[in-house]
Amino acid sequence: MVVLLAGGAGYIGSHTAVELINAGHEVVIVDDYSNSCPESIKRVEEITGKSIASYEADVKDKAALRKIFAENDIDCVIHFAGLKAVGESTRLPAKYYRNNIDTTLSLIECMKEAGVTKIVFSSSATVYGDQKPPYVETMPKGECSNPYGWTKSMMEQILTDCAKADPELTVVLLRYFNPIGAHSSGKIGEDPQGIPNNLMPYVSQVAAGVREQLTIFGGDYPTPDGTCRRDYIHVVDLALGHIKAVEKILKDNICDAYNLGTGKGYSVLELVNTFSKVNNVDVNYKIVERRPGDIDACYADTSYALKELNFKTTKTIEEMCKDAYNFILKNK
Ligand code: NAD
Ligand code: WQD
């Protein structure tokens, strides 16, 4: 299959490109490099030994998309292109709604023109809102605590409505939990610009001496050690979930949502302590007040993804911590 990766130079897109190529597929990447750089595509080429057709373009730009669909025989699209900084989305909501929703609409419209009928969408566990975990796909979607989350919830609705209206359109909504870690080569990984918003890149930067101290948001949650629990999934397992999704839409005409998580919750302190232990490094931290919008626990029910996609994670929290540290040491 030829798979167009919109936003494919980013953290999850680059790992998915590697696994798609390893599985014998061909990839084409379009990215505006607003949160990545062309170097990541070069690194994917180094890892796989294959060259990749890539385009620098804004996915909102329909003229650019038409050219890509005309020049490549695309079978399927995976839509990673989006802004994802939760805090920034509360300060600049219009920027998030414009970028995330318009990229989706342009893709869907250009796919229709080009006769491409299959799309996999990067959604998020954030669409469940604040309900009692484990999150099951049959739960109603919840209230999101920020505009970023609402863009994901709205895009799921847009894609579902488009699939209802067009019986040929096949849609897979992948609800990611907390992707962390990096490719074992250390060539690609999460490389946030500026101060990291997410836990793992912050922990890695403190361990590597780039930042002085981690602040842990909240030590008084109703969890065994008082810190929040999350379902951390190795980014390579997550990438392999996309292969399963692509295999699924090759054979079934569906519009459905699947959780991509491990089903296990680890607390912030458990993650920090595991990171220190497996990498034999200190992580200086202090516990401060809660971060607004955080929920105490979030983890997946993984049974539907297992049943329908035959998707099961294999990588441990120890491997996630080792691979994240290896990446930062090689790319400080
Ligand atoms: P990322 O920022 O590393 O990758 C997104 C890519 O999209 C970047 O390369 C960026 O340059 C590109 N992009 C953004 N807007 C674009 C536009 N208008 N035109 C072209 N390219 C554009 O993020 P990621 O962590 O790889 O996330 C990929 C997708 O998964 C995003 O949609 C994100 O919201 C979603 N997601 C991520 C997480 C997570 O924790 N990383 C969790 C749930 C969902
Ligand atoms: C994890 C835990 C923090 C940073 C976010 C988005 C979600 C999805 C994944 C995607 C929480 C704590 C964090 C720090 C800390 N996004 N923390 N100190 O909030 O579960 O999910 O990313 O596109 O939509 O909301 O992930 O990594 O920010 O936080 O103590 O410096 O780590 O409070 O408990 P989160 P996270």
d(CA 60, CA 108): 11
User: Rounded to 5 degrees, what are φ and ψ at 102?
Assistant: -65, -35
Reported in sequence order, the residue ranges of the chain that DSSP labels E, i.e. its strands, are 2-6, 26-31, 53-56, 76-79, 118-124, 170-176, 178-180, 214-217, 229-230, 232-234, 255-260, 266-267, 285-288, 297-298
Interval between CA 198 and ligand 2 midpoint (Å): 5
Neighbours of 204 (CB within 10 A): 29
Separation of CA 160 and ligand 1 centre (Å) = 21
- Distance from the alpha carbon of residue 41 to the mean position of ligand 2, in angstroms: 26
**Residue 222 CA from chain centroid, whole number:** 27
d(CA 258, CA 308): 9
CB of 59 within 6 A of ligand 1: the answer is: yes
Rounded CA gap, 228 and 223, in Å?
7
CA distance linking residue 129 with residue 295, whole number of Å: 9
List, in order, residues 6 or more apart from 243 with CB less than 8 Å away.
19, 20, 23
148 as an active site residue: the answer is: yes
Using the atom order of ligand 1, give the atom closest to the CA of residue 81: 7
Q: Please state whether 52 falls in left (phi above 0), alpha (psi between -120 and 50) or beta.
A: beta
Q: Is the CB of 200 under 6 A from ligand 1?
A: no
Residue 83 tokens read as 């802004």
Q: Does ligand 2 lie within 6 Å of residue 86's CB atom?
A: yes
Of the candidates 253, 261, 274, the residue with the CA atom closest to the CA atom of residue 305: 261
Q: Which of helix, strand or coil describes residue 265?
A: coil
What pLDDT was estimated at residue 332? 83
CA 72 / ligand 1 centre spacing (Å): 22
Is the minimum distance from the CB of 52 to ligand 2 under 6 angstroms? no
Q: What is the mean pLDDT of each run of 10 residues along the chain (332 residues)?
A: 98 98 98 97 98 98 98 98 97 98 98 98 98 97 97 98 97 98 98 93 97 98 97 99 97 97 98 98 98 96 98 98 98 89
Of 247, 236, 263, which is closest to residue 320 (Cα–Cα)? 236
Both structure tokens of 88: 């920034």
List, in order, residues 6 or more apart from 205 with CB less than 8 Å away: 196, 211, 328
Tokens standing for residue 298: 């979030």
Catalytic residue among 11, 55, 96, 148: 148
